[in-house]
Amino acid sequence: QVHLVESGGGTVKPGGSLRLSCAASGFSFSDVHMNWIRQVPGKGLEWISYVSESGTTVYYEESVKGRFTISRDNSKNVLYLQMNNLRLDDTAVYYCAGDQYGDFTFDNWGQGTLVYVSS
Amino acid sequence: QSVLTQPPSVSGTPGQRVTISCSGSNSNIGSNTVKWYQQFPGMAPKLLIHSTSQRPSGVPDRFSGSKSGTSASLAISGLQFEDGADYYCSSWDDSLNVYVIFGGGTKLTVL
């Protein structure tokens, strides 16, 4: 059974950093494209980053470009999101999501981890 | 404001058929497939429809997706109380610097 578990969220001051992790199990992690999607509590979904199966291709949403870095370790079945220079409007629940179709279809999601940026 | 426009809310009674619309443009829905996600409060979203009209294994055939031009729709027939949730459409966008976009979400209330 596919299982994605995020960790690393918490409270951080503006300008601070956090690294999120997403541990994958129950499927061939190295065969699946992976993404990070966030959701401000009570609001809608926002895609923020993509990494290809091998990790060689990455994409970012404009507002996080240059501040966030997505990566993966296929030997450990873990997806990462390094978040630097955090802003108040980065406060959200962050989900990792797998895409086996390769067309930004998010067919499996983790339970999410809350990032709270506050002074 | 989302690039994909959904009604904030829809409602129906058990057994009814309801539709949720998702309006976009030529650069997204008009030229790419549409996905639909269902989300219950406090839970992660779940894929409901992919490739505009395909249901993943385990999704009841009461749920169906379609599109026409730059608009897409999610139809739910034989409405059940447990269908009450938030629904989001999503598509790839061909515009520069934009990749995946979501609609603002529609809250379905089963009366």
**Contacts across the A-B interface (CB distance below 8 Å):** 57
Q: Could B90 and A112 be called an inter-chain contact, meaning their C-beta atoms sit closer than 8 Å?
A: no
Question: Which residue numbers of B have CB closer than 8 Å to A's CBs?
Answer: 2, 33, 35, 37, 43-47, 50-51, 56, 88, 90, 92, 97-105
pLDDT digits (tens, 9 = 90+) for B42-76: 999 999 999 999 999 999 999 999 999 999 999 99
- Shortest distance between the Cα of B22 and any Cα of chain A, in A, equals 14
pLDDT digits (tens, 9 = 90+) for A15-69: 999 999 999 999 999 999 999 999 999 999 999 999 999 999 999 999 999 999 9
- Measured CA to CA, the distance from residue B55 to residue B65 in angstroms comes to 8
Handedness of CA A99, B57, B102, B81 (dihedral sign): negative
- Shortest distance between the Cα of B20 and any Cα of chain A, in A, equals 16
- Shortest distance between the Cα of B32 and any Cα of chain A, in A, equals 10
Both tokens assigned to A7: 């960790």
Q: In chain B, what percentage of residues exceed pLDDT 90?
A: 91
Burial of A18 (0-12, 13-18, 19+ CB in 10 A): buried
Please determine, for residue B1, whether its predicted confidence score (pLDDT) is greater than 70. Answer: no
